[in-house]
Amino acid sequence: MRASEILAPTLREVPAEAEVISHILMLRAGFIRKSASGIYTYLPLANRVIKKVSQIVREEMDRKGGQELILPIMQPAELWQESGRWDVYGDELFRLKDRHGRSFALGPTHEEIITDLVRNEIRSYKQMPMLLYQIQNKYRDERRPRFGLMRGREFIMKDLYSFDRDEAGLDESYNKMFDAYTRVFSRCGLKFRPVEADSGAIGGSSTHEFMVLAESGEAAIVYCTECEYAANVEKAEACSVDTVTPMDMLPMEEVATPNARTIEEVTAMLGVGPENLIKTLIYETEKEEVVALVRGDREVNEIKLLNVLGALHLDLAGSETVQRITGAEVGFAGPVGLKNVTIIADHEVMKMVNAVAGANKTGYHLKNVKPGRDFKPDMEADIRIVQAGEPCPRCNGTLAMARGIEVGQIFKLGTKYSKALGAKFLDENGKEQYIVMGCYGIGITRTVAAAIEQNHDQDGIIWPMSIAPFQVIVVPVSAKSSEQVELAERIYSQLLEAGIEVIIDDRNERPGVKFKDADLIGYPIRVTVGNKAVDEGRVEVRLRKTGDTRDLPVEEVVTYVK
């Protein structure tokens, strides 16, 4: 490839709309351009990286016996109604109608459609285990698309689904995927950690998230410095409700909205029993950053307040048995015997009224609550919020905190979808059983962004070799020196012939511009062809990562790079 031909428009300025480094650098280095909020064009350089990551993923899925297929992105509403998710999924689901008025969804995930496939095609235990996967666009109408490819509304995901005859089979498939994910992210050259996560609304017994470690990560995790234990946690400070300072009361009607739902509606919507409601809401709020104001009655005995967007999620008006409130940056929850819960206001309303807390007086809230000021730390809280320095629950080690970007997640689904859609098979005894399922996602485009978050410096991106758009750039210092250009062209051809992915900067630009662009785009190796090359037959080979340079005889370049 030639730099004079490739569409890689670099920018000197930092684009105003970009907040995180991967977004800034992908715009500046000419990898992506925005089409609409959360929707991007992947320019040729980005496409090359996406293809690299996809290929690594593909090889590791295939190694475990995965079979690649392509499922429809456009999915009939009927399937989502059968699983119950048409009503539960909420605004994140893109919905559309065809000319006959039939409803469809753009797939945010593909459990329904694949369960529909296997209920027709898998008949016998002999056909399992079966692992089916695809690499394809996903659509989620995220409330806050942001950070470029990190949280898009259209993004590329690998999703694999496992089908087994029993739980033991599922365990095996799950372990295979755990191993495959570990190999994928290692091969991508990333520092990452699998962490235990909450299965929340999806249900199922076990789930891990794969976190790329980066300061900019949205997730807080704890890990043991001695053993393998690691988990996704919510940082939270314990606070006591006893120390509430007097605040304005706000009548319930002022925050109530037409979106109010009764507990029956909420539980039906989410498909969970009241005992799991809080857990599920926590999951939903964290997951989607949807803030629901919930009214609890009576037996709420522990609530953590969360503050994602400056709005508090839980309203406890009327619940006299609330004993503790804990403030937190994100997330909230409680061990719950919740009886009478009503979602009375949604996120938009909450944004307007700021933080609100239960007033322990029916029909009223406290306005403008400040966790920390209004609720003092309560050391005796029996929900322990894990902190750095605490002992590990598994060994004698100590826990430490880190931030991570969720690049993948694996789930044991069990029979949730096979039961809902009636996906059965005949076992050894000719008896009908439900297929036992698992689902496993990797955000391909998010992984590309995460790689940049983890690998960059003030000059630009530093691609790990395995996913770099090109491994080598050859730069003739002066475009006017025909000797330099000729020699550079020769080295370029030799590298090409040796099967190396190489680009030559044949543009008529000053050397400073070429070097800056090469650093910004982040090619792992730069071969500079200057006067010394022409006079002495030696070129400068520079590693982007370390800045180390060495002088090599021209004829050794190919062997060195290989």
Tell me which residues touch ligand ATP (CB under 6 A). 109, 140, 142, 151-152, 155, 157, 287, 406-409, 441, 443, 445-446
By a kind-dependent CB cut-off of 5 to 8 A, residue 208 interacts, out of Mg ion, ligand ATP, none, with none
Q: How far is CA 334 from CA 279, 301, 354, 385, 440, in A?
A: 8, 7, 22, 12, 28
The amino acid occupying position 260 is: A
- Tell me whether residue 154 or residue 378 sits nearer to ligand ATP (CB atom): 154
At closest approach, how far in Å is the CB of 122 from Mg ion?
Answer: 26
Cis amide prior to 258 (ω within 30 degrees): no
| Smallest gap from residue 287 Cβ to ligand ATP (A) | 5
Residue 433: CB minimum distance to ligand ATP, A = 27
CB of 409 to Mg ion, least distance (A): 4
The nearer residue to Mg ion, 89 or 125, going by C-beta atoms, is: 89
Angle formed at CA 105 by CA 101 and CA 107, multiple of 5 degrees: 160
Read off φ and ψ for residue 198, nearest 5 degrees: -90, 135
The C-alpha atoms of residue 558 and residue 547 are separated, in whole angstroms, by: 19
168: its two tokens: 């033991």
Q: Report the DSSP beta bridge partners of residue 222.
A: 231, 401
- Residue nearest ligand ATP by beta-carbon distance: 443
417 contacts: CB under 8 Å, gap ≥ 6: 83, 111, 112, 115, 423, 437
> In sequence order, what E strands does 290-363 have?
293-295, 303-306, 314-315, 325-328, 342-345, 357-358
> Which residue lies nearer to ligand ATP by CB, 300 or 413?
413
Min dist. Cβ of residue 452 to Mg ion (A):
20
Least distance CB 406 / Mg ion (angstroms): 5
| Nearer to Mg ion among residue 287 and residue 562 (C-beta) | 287
Q: 27 touches which of ligand ATP, Mg ion, none (CB within 5 to 8 A by kind)?
A: none
Interaction between residue 232 and Mg ion (CB under 5 A): no
What are the φ/ψ torsions at residue 37 (nearest 5 degrees)?
Answer: -55, 120
Which span sits near Mg ion by CB under 5 A: 19-27, 176-184, 404-412, 470-478?
Answer: 404-412
Instruction: Give the one entry of Mg ion, ligand ATP, none that residue 126 binds, where binding means its C-beta sits below a cut-off of 5 to 8 angstroms depending on kind.
Output: none
Number of residues binding to Mg ion, judged by CB under 5 A: 3
Instruction: Closer to Mg ion by CB, 290 or 383: give it.
Output: 290
Single out the segment in contact with Mg ion by CB under 5 A; choices: 57-65, 112-120, 287-295, 308-316. 287-295
Handedness of CA 223, 224, 226, 229 (dihedral sign): negative
285 binds Mg ion (CB under 5 A): no
When asked if residue 216 is in the footprint of Mg ion (CB under 5 A), the reply is: no
Between 126 and 287, name the residue whose CB sits nearer to ligand ATP: 287
Q: Whole-angstrom Cα distance, residue 473 to residue 525?
A: 6
Min dist CB 197 to ligand ATP, Å, is: 9
CA-CA-CA-CA dihedral for 440, 444, 448, 450, to nearest 10:
-30
Complex with Mg ion: residue 162 or 409, whichever CB lies closer? 409
Residue among 409, 418, 447, 484 that touches Mg ion (CB under 5 A): 409
Taking CB within 5 to 8 Å according to partner kind, which of Mg ion, ligand ATP, none is near residue 57? none
**Amino acid symbol at 259:** N
CA distance 495 to 558: 6
| Strand ranges, E, within 31-188 | 32-36, 39-42, 67-68, 74-76, 94-97, 103-106, 130-139, 154-164
The minimum distance between CB 403 and Mg ion, in angstroms, equals 14
Instruction: List b or e across 234-271, with b for residues whose CB sees 16 or more CB atoms inside 10 angstroms.
Output: bebbbbbbeebeebeebebeebbeeeebebeebbebbb
Minimum Å gap between C-beta 443 and ligand ATP is 2
Give which of ligand ATP, Mg ion, none residue 407 binds (C-beta under 5 to 8 Å, depending on kind): ligand ATP
Instruction: Give the residue ranges of DSSP H helices in 17-121.
Output: 21-28, 44-63, 77-83, 85-88, 111-121
Q: Which is nearer to ligand ATP, 142 or 297 (CB)?
A: 142
Q: How far is Cα 67 from Cα 62, in angstroms, rounded to an integer?
A: 6
**Strand ranges of the sheet holding 364-366, from the earlier edge strand across to the other edge:** 249-251, 364-366, 357-358
Residue 207 interacts with Mg ion (CB under 5 A)? no
- The listed partner (ligand ATP, Mg ion, none) that binds 157, CB under 5 to 8 Å by sort, is ligand ATP
Q: Among Mg ion, ligand ATP, none, what does residue 155 contact (CB within 5–8 Å per kind)?
A: ligand ATP
Measured from the CB atom, the residue of 109 and 415 that comes closer to ligand ATP is 109
Smaller CB distance to ligand ATP: residue 75 or 319?
A: 75
Q: Which residues contact 496 (CB under 8 A, 6 or more apart)?
A: 502
Cβ nearer to Mg ion, comparing 153 with 514: 153
Closest to Mg ion by CB, 294 or 407: 407
| 412 beta partners | 438
Give which of ligand ATP, Mg ion, none residue 152 binds (C-beta under 5 to 8 Å, depending on kind).
Answer: ligand ATP
Stretch that binds Mg ion, among 82-90, 263-271, 409-417, 509-517 (CB under 5 A): 409-417
Q: Could you tell me the smallest distance in angstroms from the CB atom of residue 481 to ligand ATP?
A: 46
Q: Which CB atom, from 2 or from 287, has the smaller least distance to Mg ion?
A: 287
Q: Select the binding partner of residue 404 from ligand ATP, Mg ion, none (C-beta < 5 to 8 A, by kind).
A: none
- Residue the block writes with tokens 């403030």: 327
**How far apart, in Å, are the Cα atoms of 190 and each of 175, 210, 453, 533?**
21, 11, 10, 35
* Helix, coil or strand: residue 309: coil
Residue 102 contact among ligand ATP, Mg ion, none, beta carbon within 5 to 8 Å by kind: none
User: For 47, what's the count of Cα atoms within 13 Å in the CB-facing half-sphere?
Assistant: 8
Q: Out of Mg ion, ligand ATP, none, which partner does residue 125 contact, by CB within 5 to 8 A per kind?
A: none
Where does this chain bind Mg ion (CB under 5 A)?
Answer: 287, 406, 409
